[in-house]
Amino acid sequence: MQKTENPEDITSSGVVKLRTDSISAGISIKEGVLNVENNIRVLLVEDEENMRELIKIAFKKENFDTIEAIDGKQGLNLFKMNGADIVILDIMLPEIDGWTVCREIRKVSNVPIILLTARGEEFDKLFGFELGADDYLVKPFSPKELIARVRALMRRAEIKINDSAPCFKVGDIVIDRLSREVTANEKEISLTNKEYELLCFLAANPKIVFTREQLLLKVWGYEQYGDPRTVDTHIKKLREKLGDYSSYISTMWGVGYKFEVPK
Ligand code: CA
């Protein structure tokens, strides 16, 4: 595995600035819909030309700006020079492999990264998440699927910005992140650790529908990337404990769950 020459260069070339650029680029969420006033800039690192073309055409339709790299070394250099709002990264690449590119980018940036792997290729998703990848897709995949993943990650990246308030109120529910206390209409609600984290995540991201798989990933972490019924069980318990406020969490049949204060 090759190492990049100088990770500091990446920082000094303005990756930190880049993140704020992408935030100020006018991405906003209204009623759970991602609104992008300026285009999402995707760095696509993929050595197969056909695959690059396919992805590029799909992204163009969505008004994403695609920067292409044909190997890992070029990918890292382009990231260094231009940054990106999201990185789509093939694993088997000439020059520097995708794992290494992922690790090097993570040293300097929290840009969302989606890994691509070919069916039949040995792929260790846990290793990918450990390296800091946010998601992965197995080829062949539909462009629609890729676009859905990109949008989901862009939402999450945006969400993190508003995630820092130590105490926040949603409807009659107050969540205090410092003491991890939850009160509903000033009455304390006793929650388990996971129930608390699930509520906290949903309430911090209101009006957005999350699939059970997304909740497993966000709330449980990849270790339990597995049984979606875990989410159902916790939602059920959480609703019971919320009592009069159980309707704050709604089930979107066949899709997932969302948090919304009823009007
Ligand atoms: Ca490849």
Give the tens place of pLDDT for each residue, 12-57. 333 322 233 333 333 444 433 333 335 788 999 999 999 999 999 9
Q: How far apart are CA 241 and CA 109, in angstroms?
A: 39
**237 CA to centre of ligand 1 in angstroms:** 45
Helix-strand-coil percent breakdown of the chain, rounded to 5? 45, 20, 30
Task: Compute CA 240 distance to the chain's CA centroid, rounded to the nearest angstrom.
Answer: 29
Decide: helix, strand or coil at residue 6. Answer: coil
The C-alpha atoms of residue 83 and residue 12 are separated, in whole angstroms, by: 12
More confident residue, 156 or 74: 74
CA dist 71 and 94 (Å) reads 5
Structure tokens at 84: 């990106």
Q: How far apart are CA 263 and CA 247, in angstroms?
A: 11
Place of tokens 């003491």: 179
How many whole angstroms from 139 Cα to the centroid of ligand 1?
Answer: 10
- Percent of the chain surpassing pLDDT 90: 44
Cβ neighbours for 194, distance < 8 A, ≥ 6 positions apart: 219, 220, 234
Integer Cα distance of 196 and 182 in angstroms = 8
Rounded to an integer, what distance in angstroms lies between the CA atom of residue 212 and that of residue 228? Answer: 6
pLDDT at 38: 53
Residue 262 CA to ligand 1 center (angstroms) comes to 48
Which segments within 61-141 are labelled E, that is strand? 65-69, 86-90, 113-118, 135-139
> Which band of pLDDT confidence, cut at 50, 70 and 90, is reported for residue 78?
very high
Least confident of 3-7, 78-82, 259-263: 3-7
Q: pLDDT digits over 158-206, tens only? A: 655 444 556 778 889 998 877 889 999 889 999 998 899 999 989 988 8
**2 pLDDT above the threshold of 80:** no
In this predicted structure, what is the pLDDT of residue 126? 79
Assess whether pLDDT exceeds 60 at residue 85.
yes
Expressed in angstroms and rounded, the spacing between residue 48 Cα and the centre of ligand 1 is: 6
| 77 torsion bin: left (phi>0), alpha (psi -120 to 50), beta (else) | alpha
The answer, yes or no, to whether residue 4 has pLDDT greater than 60, is no
Q: Is the peptide bond between 140 and the residue preceding it cis, with omega within 30 degrees of 0?
A: yes
Q: How far is the CA of 118 from the centre of ligand 1 (A)?
A: 8
With beta carbons less than 8 A apart as the criterion, state whether 78 and 104 touch.
Answer: no
